[in-house]
Structure 1
Amino acid sequence: MNKPTGGNGPRGVAEARAYAEDQWTRALGIGVDPHEYRRVTGALGSRADWCPALRRTGHAYLERAERAGRAGAPVSAVSPVSPVSPVSAGEYLLTAARWFHLATLVPYEVAGVAAPTGPEARAEMARAAAEADDALGRALAVREPGARRIRGEGFTGWLRGPRDAATAAGAVIVIPGLDSAKEEFLDVTDALLARGLAVYAMDGPGQGALAATSFLRPDYEQVVGRVVDALGVPRVGLVGLSLGGYFAARTAALEPRVAAVATVSGPFRLDWAELPAPVRDILTRRTGGPDAARAFARRVDLTDLAPRVTAPLLVVDGDQDVIPGVTNGEPLARLAPHAAHLRVPHGDHLLGNARPDWLPRLADHLAGALTSAGTAM
Structure 2
Amino acid sequence: MNASEFAATQWTRAISMGVDPHEYRRVTDSLTGIADWGPAFAHTAHAYLERAENAGSSRSAGEYLLMAARWFRLATLAPYAEAHHAAAEADRASGRALTVLEPDARKISGAGFTGWLRGPADAPGTVIVIPGLDSAKEEFLDLVSALLARGLAVFAMDGPGQGALAATTHLEPNYERVVGRIIDAIGIARVGLVGLSLGGYFAARTAALEPRVAVVATVSGPFHLDWEQLPAPIRDIIIQLTGGVEAARTFTAAVDLAALVPRITAPLLIVDGAQDTISGVTNGESMARLAPHGTYLSVPHGDHLLGNARPDWLPHLSDYVARALIGTPI
Q: TM-score, normalised by structure 1?
A: 0.86
Deviations 1:170-225 (A, max 9, x none): 00000000000000000010000000000000000000000000100000100000
Q: Distance in 2 between matches of 1:364 and 1:287?
A: 35
Is 1:158 paired with 2:145? Answer: no
- CA-CA distance at 1:86 after TM superposition: 1.3
Q: Distance in 2 between matches of 1:20 and 1:324?
A: 21
Deviations 1:148-184 (A, max 9, x none): 000000000000001x3xx212000000000000000
Q: Distance in 1 between matches of 2:235 and 2:255?
A: 14
Is 1:316 paired with 2:283? Answer: no
- Alignment correspondent of 1:369: 324
Secondary structure (helix, strand or coil) at the match of 1:347 reads coil
Q: Distance in 1 between matches of 2:327 and 2:44?
A: 44
Is 1:215 paired with 2:170? Answer: yes
- Alignment correspondent of 1:224: 179
- CA-CA distance at 1:372 after TM superposition: 2.8
Of 101, 110, 113, which residue of structure 1 is paired with 2:73? Answer: 101
Secondary structure (helix, strand or coil) at the match of 1:58 reads helix
- Alignment correspondent of 2:198: 243
Instruction: Look at both structures and tell me which one has the larger radius of gyration over its CA atoms.
Output: 1
- CA-CA distance at 1:29 after TM superposition: 1.2
Deviations 1:203-261 (A, max 9, x none): 00000000000100000100000000001000000000000000000000000000000
- Alignment correspondent of 1:133: 91
1:6-85 correspondence runs (5 A): 15-68=2-55, 84-85=56-57
Q: Distance in 2 between matches of 1:310 and 1:279?
A: 32
Find runs of 4+ consecutive structure 1 residues off by over 3 angstroms. Answer: none
Q: Distance in 2 between matches of 1:309 and 1:361?
A: 21
Secondary structure (helix, strand or coil) at the match of 1:202 reads strand
Q: Distance in 2 between matches of 1:349 and 1:289?
A: 26
Q: Distance in 1 between matches of 2:264 and 2:308?
A: 29
Q: Distance in 2 between matches of 1:42 and 1:213?
A: 33
Q: Distance in 2 between matches of 1:311 and 1:330?
A: 17
State the one-letter code of the partner of 2:285.
Answer: E
- CA-CA distance at 1:85 after TM superposition: 1.6
State the one-letter code of the partner of 1:52.
Answer: P
Structure 1: tracts of 5 or more residues without a match: 1-13, 69-83, 108-116
Give the total of aligned pairs. 329
- Alignment correspondent of 2:154: 199
Secondary structure (helix, strand or coil) at the match of 2:54 reads helix
Of 241, 248, 254, which residue of structure 2 is paired with 1:299? Answer: 254
- Alignment correspondent of 1:111: none
Is 1:343 paired with 2:301? Answer: no
Q: Distance in 1 between matches of 2:95 and 2:215?
A: 28
Deviations 1:268-323 (A, max 9, x none): 00000000011101011011111111111100000000101110111000000000
Structure 2: tracts of 5 or more residues without a match: none
- Alignment correspondent of 2:60: 88
Q: Distance in 2 between matches of 1:21 and 1:274?
A: 23
> What is the aligned-residue RMSD (CA, Å)?
1.1
- CA-CA distance at 1:28 after TM superposition: 1.0
